[in-house]
Amino acid sequence: IGELLYLKGTITDAFGIPIEGATIKIWQTNSAGQYQSLLDDDKYIDENFTMSGTARSDNLGRYGFKTIFPGFEDERAPHINMIITHPKFTKIETEIYFENHPLNIKDPYYMSYDEEDQKALTAKVVNITNDTKDGKIATFNIVMDGIHPYKGY
């Protein structure tokens, strides 16, 4: 239940070289802004939505998820939690926010970052078609610290 969202992007090293085989894990709220909890009977649970997923980057560093646009909870803006790992790079744990969302400026976590970091944490969002019912595409590119040990430039 909710608005269809395709989350995609590329993972590169500090020189922009694609990183193949990175593991990307995401988790998020459902469209009502609730995290899945089997312990709370009173929370809205969408039985058809697992609220998490895992992907691997391909040989061009690309990754993608088909999900829904997350709802918002309390004073938080809609966001997706993400962990990126690769054996030759430092692990990244972050949150993805969405470009031009009106709740971003009310989110205490988002607002705690400086403008440059906010830009790095914010996915570009476009409608798939002119009909907003068709969903959105969010693009979130990731740069991992370091360089490929086998690439030289």
What does the mean pLDDT of the chain come to? Answer: 90
pLDDT at 17: 92
**Residues 84 and 144 sit within 8 Å (Cβ to Cβ):** yes
Give the pLDDT confidence score for residue 43 in this predicted structure.
60
pLDDT, tens digit (0-9, with 9 covering 90-100), for 59-93: 999 999 999 999 988 889 999 999 999 999 999 99
pTM more than 0.85: yes
Cα separation, 29 vs 8, whole angstroms? 18
Sequence-distant (≥ 6) Cβ neighbours of residue 12 within 8 angstroms: 18, 19, 61, 141, 142, 143, 144
Q: Which helix (H) or strand (E) holds 116?
A: helix 115-120
Write out the chain's pLDDT in tens, 153 residues.
899 999 999 999 998 999 999 999 999 999 888 887 666 665 667 777 888 999 999 999 999 999 999 998 888 999 999 999 999 999 999 999 999 999 999 999 999 999 999 999 999 999 888 877 789 999 999 999 887 766 654
What pLDDT, on the 0 to 100 scale, is given for residue 11? 97
| 136 closest CA partner among 126, 144, 124 | 126
Cβ partners under 8 Å of residue 111, min gap 6? 104, 105
